[in-house]
Amino acid sequence: MGNFLKSVIFDFDGLILDTEWPEVQAWSELYQNLQIDVDPQWWTFGIGRGPDQDPKHPFEFIPPDIRQTLDKNEVIAERWDRRRELVEKEAPLAGVSDLLEALRSSQIRIGLASSSSQNWVKGHLKRLDLIHYFAAIACAEDVKLTKPSPDLYLKALEDLDCQPENGLALEDSPAGCQSALAAGLRVIAVPNRLTSTMQFPPVQEIWSSLSGKQPADLARILQ
């Protein structure tokens, strides 16, 4: 007899909402304007991680001779505004809204663990009219270390009053999967168009999307 599913903890960026490709697009537009050839995979290391885990800022991919002609703060602010403009055009990724509703109807508690800030996550959840589904939201400022450290998932589990053996994590990135696994959770990876080329740690299953998924599909992982 396996454990029963009590809580499901979602990642945010790239799992609920595609905020990662707009970041690549925003910076790629600048690189193109500067006639710089940068592989879009530059962003993959930072996916799922907070700023404390990211070793290289996108600005640093600009050659030094060009960087010195630019105002770094101004460039970063412009790219942030462009990313936000692109993200605000995005709808939830396939299957997310239906799965959230089905989990709530099944009385399975829903949490969220994100290396992004509370303002970023909650702002978009409110815009998408999804925030009411979440009983716990753990973000970067709530822990000492972001993913791949287990701290965010441990915080979410604590707030949900759930033991790891009764929880399941949904993640789109290797760093996020490492974080959830280290917290003792079973994990379903749902790679997106940017993370699909990355090497994932051993997880319970890898799905192409959440489209058509039901609570029973998640609960089966714990059996």
Catalytic residues: 11, 13
| Torsion angle of the four alpha carbons 215, 135, 128, 52, in this order, in degrees rounded to the nearest 10 | -100
Please report, as a single letter, which amino acid is at residue 192.
Answer: N
User: Quick check: 205 and 188 in contact, CB under 8 A?
Assistant: yes
User: Quick check: 91 and 211 in contact, CB under 8 A?
Assistant: no
Please report, as a single letter, which amino acid is at residue 8.
Answer: V
Rounded distance between C-alpha atoms, residue 11 and residue 180, angstroms: 10
Half-sphere exposure for 57 (CA within 13 Å, toward CB): 11
